[in-house]
Structure 1
Amino acid sequence: MGVLSNMIDREQLKPGDHIYSWRRGYIYAHHGIYVGDGNVVHFTRGGEEIGTGTVFDRLLSSSVPSCPDSPCEQCGDQSALNGVIESCLDCFLSGNDLYIFCYSVSLAFFISKVRGGTCTFASSDPAADVIHRARYLLRHGFGAYDLFKNNCEDFAIYCKTGLLVTTSYSVGRSGQWGCIVSAASAIAGSPLRFLSSSFGGLAVVTSGIYCLNRVVSDIGIRRDVAKLPVEELVLSSGSAAGEAESLFRRIVA
């Protein structure tokens, strides 16, 4: 693993690692928590990865391998399962390469990762806490899958950090969607783009705004987050993703 790639070998995996693999030719990545013994706990929506009612439904498919004709001897056919599930590493990767999500990265490292959803400034909790959250949510669920606010990367980041976004109007913890929002803002939302007449100058300004937006939207920088024990989260909200804003208000009151 290095600045250019987060790819690792299976032998480098440790329980509590946040891992991911790219799908559909690097269009998006599917994330999960490695819990040891060759198994991964991850969050998905069977049949379709998202189900948003938008054009994305035509581009993205389920993260769960669909193999009814030759199901995995360990996992069986998980293609119709929803929510938090446990799969063997082979089923999780579904024939793709293995990558590790990095925590507590430096500013230079973060900016060098042009693609979001690969690292964060936030610190990871000890592996035992990470695995406890993952297995607790495996039993109790993580709410309804939502591509924009409650997806597989949001699940993995919560397991690693215990951080939950507390505002209902913003995107979740996912760096992949933070990357898309930052790109859209850099291209269309900045008046600074009119200050440059050359293509090179425009590219510099747009790139700078993109990097700044990515930095300030990262879970390790944002202020609209609260750290909540997984038991309290599930007990208080009825699901690990619901009513975060009202729950946060009760805690800080």
Structure 2
Amino acid sequence: MGLLSNRVVKESLKPGDHIYSWRTAYIYAHHGIYVGNDTVIHFTRRGQEVGTGTVLDVLLLSSGPARAQACPTCTPPDEDHGVVSSCLNCFLSGGVLYRFEYAVNPALFLAKARGGTCTLAVADPDDVVVHRAKYLLENGFGCYNVFKNNCEDFTIYCKTGLLVLDQGTMGQSGQAVSIIGGPLAAVLSTPLRLVTTNIYGMAATAVGVYCASRYAADIGMRRDVTKVSVEDLTRRLATGQLQVIEPQIVARPAH
């Protein structure tokens, strides 16, 4: 894995890979699970990749590349839930192909300034990942929310089986943490102006706060997660019982 880029060629893909493509001038990336035969299963807001109800929707939709024309192999965007199957070209929508990395060491994780490209968490076997993705294609992944239940949350769940228990907090998505963490770090470093005018010191503090927030919020480090089978997940989503899952001890990667 490169320090600045996880770019790959499609010939290197194997079923079970978590892939993504940047949209909107590297502000936002769309994620999915490659399941073989040039096919990707991914989670959308019924054909859209955003859903904040704010001006952010306009930014993300208007600045991205034009969506590829629908083809016979792709799920129509007006299905009754947001998990869809697309050919690789339609998934990329003119963008570049990248592969998300798992079980990276902490130093490399922190060196990646942009969230949503790697995680400390360990991935499950590829056949398990593909099974989860195909099962959710048939049964859905709940309601889309750009900060709590988005395309990256979907793919991380497919890869690890891990879910955040408290639906009132941030989801698994690293890019959502980056979107919120940057402004938060700037706010938290502002009090330094009361004791120093050194812009470099304030910048270093902001970077430190940002890195610490990314590290603590990574799915591989959080304690508010549990391993949930895909069959149990869909049953609980159907009955609204997701939040009553009891936390389990989740093995952490050794670094």
TM-score greater than 0.5 by the shorter chain: yes
Deviates more, 1:121-130 or 1:185-194: 185-194
| 1:70-149 correspondence runs (5 A) | 71-75=70-74, 78-81=76-79, 82-149=81-148
Counterpart residue number, 1:226: 226
Counterpart residue number, 2:4: 4
- 1:43 aligns to 2:43 (yes or no): yes
Counterpart residue number, 1:172: 171
Deviates more, 1:92-101 or 1:176-185: 176-185
Structure 2: gaps spanning 5 or more residues: 250-255
- 1:214 aligns to 2:249 (yes or no): no
Change (3 A) 1:71 1:206: closer
Paired residue secondary structure (2:61): coil
Q: Which amino acid aligns with 2:83?
A: V
Structure 1: gaps spanning 5 or more residues: none
Change (3 A) 1:204 1:122: same
Counterpart residue number, 2:253: none
Query: Which whole-Å deviations, capped at 9, do the CAs of 1:219-250 have from their partners, x for residues lacking one?
Result: 000111000111111113317xx54322236x
Query: Which whole-Å deviations, capped at 9, do the CAs of 1:27-47 have from their partners, x for residues lacking one?
Result: 200000000111000000135
- Contact kept, 8 Å, 1:104 with 1:120, in 2: the verdict is yes
Paired residue secondary structure (1:248): coil
- Contact kept, 8 Å, 1:14 with 1:34, in 2: the verdict is yes
Query: Which whole-Å deviations, capped at 9, do the CAs of 1:175-228 have from their partners, x for residues lacking one?
Result: 001112221221113476345421111111111111111100110001110001
May I ask how many residue pairs the two structures share in their alignment? 246
- Contact kept, 8 Å, 1:22 with 1:96, in 2: the verdict is yes
Deviation at 1:49, TM superposition (A): 2.5
- 1:29 aligns to 2:29 (yes or no): yes
Change (3 A) 1:244 1:73: closer
Counterpart residue number, 2:245: 247
Displacement over 6 Å in runs of 4+: 62-65
- Contact kept, 8 Å, 1:22 with 1:28, in 2: the verdict is yes
* Distance in 2 between residues matched to 1:173 and 1:243, nearest whole Å: 19
Provide the alpha-carbon RMSD of the alignment. Answer: 2.3
* Distance in 1 between residues matched to 2:47 and 2:162, nearest whole Å: 28
* Distance in 2 between residues matched to 1:115 and 1:35, nearest whole Å: 26
* Distance in 1 between residues matched to 2:47 and 2:124, nearest whole Å: 32
- Contact kept, 8 Å, 1:165 with 1:226, in 2: the verdict is yes
Deviation at 1:66, TM superposition (A): 4.6
Q: Which amino acid aligns with 2:212?
A: L
Q: Which amino acid aligns with 2:27?
A: I
Deviates more, 1:40-49 or 1:204-213: 40-49
Query: Which whole-Å deviations, capped at 9, do the CAs of 1:82-140 have from their partners, x for residues lacking one?
Result: 51011110110011100000100011111111011000000000001100100010011
* Distance in 1 between residues matched to 2:48 and 2:9, nearest whole Å: 29
Q: Which amino acid aligns with 2:105?
A: S
Deviation at 1:50, TM superposition (A): 2.3
Paired residue secondary structure (1:220): coil
* Distance in 1 between residues matched to 2:234 and 2:83, nearest whole Å: 14
- Contact kept, 8 Å, 2:23 with 2:65, in 1: the verdict is no
The percent identity for this pair of structures is 51
Paired residue secondary structure (1:26): coil
